[in-house]
Amino acid sequence: MVAINHDGLAIPGRIDLAHEPLFSLGMLSVNPGTRQVSFGGCNHTLEPRVMQVLVALARAKGAIVTRDELSAWCWDSRIVSEDALNRTLSRVRHVAAGIGQGSFYVETITKVGYRLLVDAGENETARIAVTKTPRSDAGDGDVDRRRWIAGAALAGVASVFAAAGWKVGAGYRPNAEARAYYRKGVEARSLGFVESGEQATSYFSQAVRADPNYAEAWGALARQKTNSLYAETEKELERNSAEVRSAANRALALDPDQAEAQSALALIQPYFRRWRSHEAGLARVAKAHPEQYLAIIGLGDLYSNVARWEDSIAQYREARRMEPMRPGPTGALALAYWAAGRIEEAESESVRAFETWPRFHGMWFTRMILLTYSGQPERAVAFGQNSDFHPFGAERTIETRLATARALVSRSVTELEAVRAEVLKGVDENVLNVPAAARFLCASGDLNTLFGLLDAYFYRRGRFVRNAAKVIHPLTRLQTAFLFYPISRILWDDPRFAALTRDIGLDEYWRSVGFVPAHLRR
């Protein structure tokens, strides 16, 4: 560890960001006046309160800061609720794990306070030195001395625990190799691509092998493995969910407050027909850890599936704020804006996404969906024909989407029937392709076929499933958001639709939360 490069002025005293000096935390540069933190050419703007708390912890130069001191310095001595303080500290920790890439961390000293420690390098193990600043007020010096003594005493206790092989909560320090793998994993997952996600899983796996007591790495591994929950077979679902639980439970055994592990366990709970309990689980994690991406994006997806589009938009916007380099939230946001009837914003997000992530599969298909099914199939044809935009390795799917747009432009019976045959073939190969087929069948007005597909998708029965007796695994990630897209309006007045939403528990959910979806407001 090394000393924090902050001059320590105004200890104690209210933190006025405009007059706080620039300082550094390891390789992270902090500018309180502009509320910006910078690392490796990347800048991130913090909320004022979050920056105040970061400055308060940095001022202490590695010594303990009590809750009362944080209240006095950052909240003008007002009474601060535990939730408010925890939320702010969670955001500071997110800065450390995100743009800070582990340059510093905030340690919770149970029933005492908090301290900020800086990582000086892979082989350095010394504790942060507390640099005294002369004070004209002897009482202030006494505060500093008491804080230093408390910090030194606690450090001594921590060393005894470490020697015995015990953990000291979130303050546990992994070895250098594990930290290096963890940081690389965080960097890889921030890109949000399939390939980078697989690489992140590898890095986190190597991190826990290098240090099996590294709770953060176990939590990150659990979060990363939730990406495999969209598997198709029962065997794959069982294996993948077991891997998530194993990694998450290991993290929580080491640190019961490990946020990513809590998020992973909340996300893995079945949600189809269990809408309310799934929402409650994710909301609990999001309240305790406001900067937990997995819980926030999980709520966004949940709200999309229950037609709460404005709420899903808010969650997706927050998720993007947390991890702006990930394409997923922007693509989801474009579709949510469309579903909410905010067409101009949907168009803007779609264009922005495609320009930011050219040739990325998800962005190309999102753009095609919006153009094809928002009444602009001619533009979809022009867009789809431009091979400069095509994602790599998706030739068959690209041709199907392009043929769909062409058929909706021409309205040729022959072309429409050819597309119908193709989408039904896709369902025959995998019943989870029903949402994609449903969009075309809505656009072409083929209601009877569509309800037959919904029988196959939600109940595994009828003529569109090879094995009608096959049951739905509780962890299968069935989607319902497509039922509430604007293109699906053709369904809403059919009595079979009301029976469907009632049977899969959506009506009960809407009543329980006092929400009236758009199709019932007409």
What domains appear along the chain, each with residue ranges and CATH number? Answer: 17-170 (1.10.10.10), 174-268 (1.25.40.10)
pLDDT band at 475 (very low <50, low <70, confident <90, very high): confident
190 against 393, higher pLDDT: 190
Helix/strand/coil percent split, the chain, to 5: 65, 5, 30
Q: How far apart are the first and last CA of the chain?
A: 63
Residue 509 half-sphere exposure toward CB, CA atoms < 13 A: 23
Largest CA distance in the chain: 90
User: DSSP label at 360?
Assistant: -
Region of 238 on the Ramachandran plot (φ > 0 left; ψ -120 to 50 alpha; else beta): alpha
Structure tokens belonging to residue 479: 């989607």
Mean pLDDT score, 240-256 = 92
User: DSSP label at 21?
Assistant: P
Is residue 118 within a helix (H) or strand (E), and if so which, with residue range?
Answer: strand 113-118
Structure tokens belonging to residue 145: 């001395």
Mean pLDDT score, 203-217 = 94
pLDDT band at 13 (very low <50, low <70, confident <90, very high): low
Q: Which of 338, 350, 287 is nearest to 313 (CA)?
A: 338
Mean pLDDT score, 357-381 = 91
| pLDDT at residue 142 is higher than 70 | no
Residue at 192: amino acid letter: G
446: Cβ contacts below 8 Å, ≥ 6 apart: 420
Mean pLDDT score, 92-109 = 77
Residues in the chain: 522
Structure tokens belonging to residue 467: 């094995």
- CA dist 109 → 147, 219, 380 (Å): 12, 21, 57
Between CA 390 and CA 361 the distance in angstroms is: 8
pLDDT band at 4 (very low <50, low <70, confident <90, very high): low
Q: What is the dihedral angle through the alpha carbons of 472, 473, 474, 479, rounded to the nearest 10 degrees?
A: -60
| pLDDT at residue 507 is higher than 70 | yes
| pLDDT at residue 469 is higher than 60 | no
**Cβ proximity of 246 and 285 under 8 Å:** no
pLDDT band at 143 (very low <50, low <70, confident <90, very high): very low
Give the dihedral sign, CA 374/379/384/390.
negative
Between CA 492 and CA 447 the distance in angstroms is: 11
Residue 61: is it exposed, middle or buried by C-beta count within 10 angstroms (0-12/13-18/19+)?
buried
| pLDDT at residue 126 is higher than 60 | no
**Cβ proximity of 306 and 509 under 8 Å:** yes
pLDDT band at 333 (very low <50, low <70, confident <90, very high): very high
How confident is the model at residue 316, as a pLDDT? Answer: 97
Task: List, edge to edge, every strand of the sheet that includes 28-31.
Answer: 23-25, 28-31, 36-39, 42-45
Lowest mean pLDDT among 76-85, 160-169, 269-278, 343-352: 160-169
Between CA 126 and CA 473 the distance in angstroms is: 51
Mean pLDDT score, 4-19 = 65
- Rg for the chain, CA atoms, rounded: 26
Lowest mean pLDDT among 139-143, 252-256, 389-393, 465-469: 139-143
Mean pLDDT score, 206-212 = 94
Between CA 292 and CA 36 the distance in angstroms is: 20
Between CA 317 and CA 311 the distance in angstroms is: 10
- CA dist 218 → 106, 119, 175, 193 (Å): 18, 20, 14, 21
Between CA 56 and CA 69 the distance in angstroms is: 9
Q: Which of 412, 395, 452 is nearest to 428 (CA)?
A: 452
- Using DSSP, state whether 73 is helix, strand or coil: helix
Residue at 337: amino acid letter: Y
Between CA 23 and CA 54 the distance in angstroms is: 11
pLDDT in tens, 272-286: 999 999 999 999 999
